[in-house]
């Protein structure tokens, strides 16, 4: 089922099914959060018991996939549709291994109409294995859909309520990004960026 922007609501059914299955099978025990390190002590980036979550989003665009990708698919086009600033800080635009200034994200894979990126390990922070994939997929000769999938570990968040809130916030943020990509690919003008917290 799709909403007015063509976004899929299949994830709602999957989430509901997961809730049913979760009621039948006890969840694995989670390790308690590690105590704060003493002054001068290194913080481990390794997560003992990760819990991976994915957020698959999509939107239909009234343009051919190649045309859509040409408009919004360059690695630093995120600056326009995410309404932020982006520069390539290492490597070359469009090449695997390129690093963009947005969260120091590294392009780790690409195809003619897609790319995948990750955020690097950061000193003193648990590594959540964050990855994103953006793809333009042909539907017909004149239409396509954009797919944006996020995968990350949310085990370091405090509890189920915090994990749900985090997922809702990411879903809203990247849904807006997809809507902006659709507007740009179809020749429109973006609305003003919302205020940043």
pLDDT digits (tens, 9 = 90+) for 26-74: 333 444 444 455 555 555 678 889 999 999 999 999 999 999 999 999 9
Cα distance between residue 177 and residue 83, in whole Å: 9
- Overall number of domains in the chain: 1
DSSP summary character for residue 161: H
Which residue range is the domain that position 177 belongs to?
Answer: 47-185
pLDDT at 4: 44
pLDDT of residue 159: 95
Chain position carrying tokens 């509890």: 159
- With CA atoms as reference, report the closest residue to 90 among 117, 114, 52, 127: 117
Question: Can you spell out the DSSP letters for 80-128?
Answer: HHTTS---EEES-TTSTT-EETGGGEEEEEEETTEEEEEPPP-TTS---
**pTM value?**
0.77
Q: What pLDDT sits at residue 47?
A: 84
The reported pLDDT for the residue numbered 59 is: 98
Regions of the chain short of the pLDDT cut 70: 1-44, 196-197
Element housing 17 (H / E): helix 10-24
How confident is the model at residue 46, as a pLDDT?
82
Question: What's the pLDDT score for residue 42?
Answer: 55
Six-digit token pair at 66?
């190649």
Cα–Cα dist 69/50, whole Å: 34
Confidence at residue 7, expressed as pLDDT on a 0 to 100 scale: 44
Question: Does any domain span residue 20?
Answer: no
pLDDT at 48: 84
Q: What is the CATH number of the domain that holds 102?
A: 3.30.530.20
In a domain, 120, yes or no: yes
Does residue 130 form part of some domain? yes
């Amino acid at each position: 089922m799709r909403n007015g922007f063509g976004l899929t609501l299949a994830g709602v059914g999957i989430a509901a099914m997961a809730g049913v299955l979760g009621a039948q099978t006890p969840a694995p025990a989670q390790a308690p959060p590690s105590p704060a390190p003493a002054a001068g002590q290194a913080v481990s980036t390794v997560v003992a018991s990760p819990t991976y979550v994915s957020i698959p989003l999509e939107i239909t665009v009234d343009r051919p996939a190649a045309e859509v990708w040409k408009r919004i698919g360059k690695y630093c086009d995120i600056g326009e549709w995410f309404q932020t600033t982006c520069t390539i800080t290492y490597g070359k635009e469009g090449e695997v291994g390129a690093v963009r200034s947005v969260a120091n994200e590294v392009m780790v894979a690409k195809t003619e109409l897609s790319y995948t990126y990750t955020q690097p390990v950061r000193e003193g922070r648990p590594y959540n294995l964050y990855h994103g994939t953006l793809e333009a997929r042909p539907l017909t000769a004149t239409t396509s859909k954009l797919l944006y999938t996020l995968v990350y570990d949310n085990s370091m968040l405090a509890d189920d309520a915090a994990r749900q809130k985090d997922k809702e916030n990411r879903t809203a943020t990247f849904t807006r990004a997809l809507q902006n990509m659709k507007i740009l690919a179809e020749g429109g003008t973006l609305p003003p960026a919302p205020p940043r917290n």
